[in-house]
Amino acid sequence: MELHETTAVGLRDLLAAGEVSAREVAGHYLGRIEGLNPLLGAFVTVTADTALEDAARADEALIAARRADRPPAPLHGMPLAWKDLWEVAGVRTTYGTAALEHVRADADHPLVARVHADGALSLGKTQVPEFGLNCYSENRIAAPARNPLDPRLSPGGSSGGSAAAVAAGMLPFAPGNDGGGSVRIPAAACGLVGLKPGLGTVPTDLGNGVRDAWGAPRLVVSGPLARDATDAALLMDSLVGGTGGAYLAAARAASPAGGRPLCIGVSLRSPFETRYDLALEPAARAALDAGVALLEAAGHRVEDAAVRYDNRYASAFQTIWTAGLADAAIPAAGEPRLTRITREFRDRALRRPPADKLAAAAILRRIAEDCRAQWGRYDAVLTPALAQTPREIGYYTSHGADDDYRLQCQYTPFTSVVNVAGVPAIVLPTHTTPEGLSMGVQLIGRRGSEAGLLALAAQLGGA
């Protein structure tokens, strides 16, 4: 078996046992990147020299740990990469935009530092949409990220480059972040498991508090992308820190709620349905039906969930989702280099009265409470992961801002409301189309149920 065919947990074990060296592993994955990235555009920056130097130091550290009778670091020698929205010391950060100067970071972002402290090695930075705004990974600074299942198609976004890298075997797993579906959407598009934790589960996500400047729930959280639930759990343990391997143990046990049957509510409702025409494609329906069948085969009770959403959601979410663009320090010379959707939404955000943003934030807070109450009647709520199969490169960007945004909502109508509610959700593949594309389901849990969702995903075959 090639190294990239090994699970992340299996690779971790090989490295910890000294059966392969960190330098050998880094070299193998760098070779994969060199061969595949020209086609897939997953990486914006590859830090090969630094990665090999860090790998050599990791090999020395393992020898020293053995001599001192100490265990190796939890992610000793494990290669990964960071979305080009996170700062990595000594590496340029582009934020996916041509409107800003690309400056080398002086220090690691706190989450980067947390995972590197566990022994992980960075191979570079992965492709994102401009400022991580969209559900595709195309911008004006580098080639678009492409879906390894069909390179004509998008791998989703905003963690699309990372998902493409994992799905293509350029990385064993990858951290992502998710403010409206940015881990779950590319996981679903590329046939991966993607976990969006609840707000505050990953401590570094709380650096700016639990609410934004307007009082809306903080949307963006960090979570793992991996080929199965146990690999996702291994990375989740590192993202959180200090868990003692609890997430990995839960996934390996694959016994949610101690083995009792769960009550799962199924919903096809979306808070965007009052604004846009939404339709579930046959492949999305087949994935949902397969998810129901897997849950029932595992002994869980599945029933229709009578979920309803406030019809003000679509307007309030768009207001808050784009509000931060008004605060971006973009020089006048850089404005023309913004993508069309960013430029138009930024202009609207700059002109929008503060009272409108405060009102939208208040609406989202009420919606968050309502969603938690409705979903909380079940152990988990099942929805489609996506409403449509992945779209071709350029499908969204060939339109103006409003149509671009509408098409994104029609593709991903089930994800953003989970961020507003601040609860965890996991996506896993359940169906493969005749064309070889992957489609999946989303399971929304209660606050604090990340370990249970990983166990459930593993039980359903995501392990």
Mean pLDDT of 95-101: 98
Q: How far is CA 228 from CA 182, 225, 429, 440, 454, in A?
A: 18, 9, 9, 13, 9
What is the band of 367 on the pLDDT scale with cuts at 50, 70, 90? very high
Percent residues over pLDDT 90 in the chain: 99
Q: According to the 3-state scheme, what is the secondary structure of 279-348?
A: CCCHHHHHHHHHHHHHHHHCCCEEEECCCCCCCCHHHHHHHHHHHHHHHCCCCHHHHHHCCHHHHHHHHH
Most distant CA pair in the chain, distance: 64
pLDDT tens track for 375-385:
999 999 999 99
Average pLDDT over residues 428-447: 98
Q: What is the pLDDT of residues 42-55, one digit of tens each?
A: 999 999 999 999 99
Please say if the pLDDT value at position 335 is more than 80.
yes
The per-residue pLDDT for range 218-228, each reduced to its tens digit, is: 999 999 999 99
Model confidence at 463: pLDDT above 60 = no
pLDDT score for 144: 98
Total length of the chain: 463
Q: What is the CATH number of the domain that holds 187?
A: 3.90.1300.10
For 186-233, what is each residue's pLDDT tens digit?
999 999 999 999 999 999 999 999 999 999 999 999 999 999 999 999
pLDDT at 179 over 80: yes
Q: DSSP assignment of 36-79, as one string?
A: HHHHH--EEEE-HHHHHHHHHHHHHHHHHHHHTT-PPPTTTT-E
Residue 434 is predicted with a pLDDT of: 98
Alpha-carbon distance of 332 to 214, in angstroms, equals 25
Residue 359: exposed, middle, or buried by beta-carbon count in 10 A (0-12, 13-18, 19+)? middle
- Residue range of the domain that includes 36: 3-459
Residue 193: per-residue pLDDT: 98
Region 106-118: mean pLDDT is 98
**Token reading at 155:** 């791998």
* 260-314 pLDDT per residue, tens: 999 999 999 999 999 999 999 999 999 999 999 999 999 999 999 999 999 999 9
% of the chain residues with pLDDT over 70:
100
Tell me which residue has tokens 């968050």.
368
Q: From CA 273, how far away is CA 276, in angstroms rounded?
A: 5
Averaged pLDDT score across all residues of the chain: 98
pLDDT category of residue 95 using cuts at 50, 70 and 90: very high
DSSP 8-state assignment for residue 433 = -
Q: What is the reported pLDDT for 1?
A: 87
Measured between alpha carbons, how far is 300 from 284 in angstroms, rounded to an integer?
Answer: 21
Residue 264 per-residue DSSP state: E
Cα–Cα distance for residue pair 408/133, rounded to 1 Å:
11
Could you give the residue numbers annotated as active site? Answer: 83, 158, 182
Domain count, the chain: 1
pLDDT for 63-89, tens place per residue? 999 999 999 999 999 999 999 999 999
Distance, CA of 411 to CA of 188 (rounded, Å): 11
Q: Please tell me the predicted confidence (pLDDT) of residue 462.
A: 59
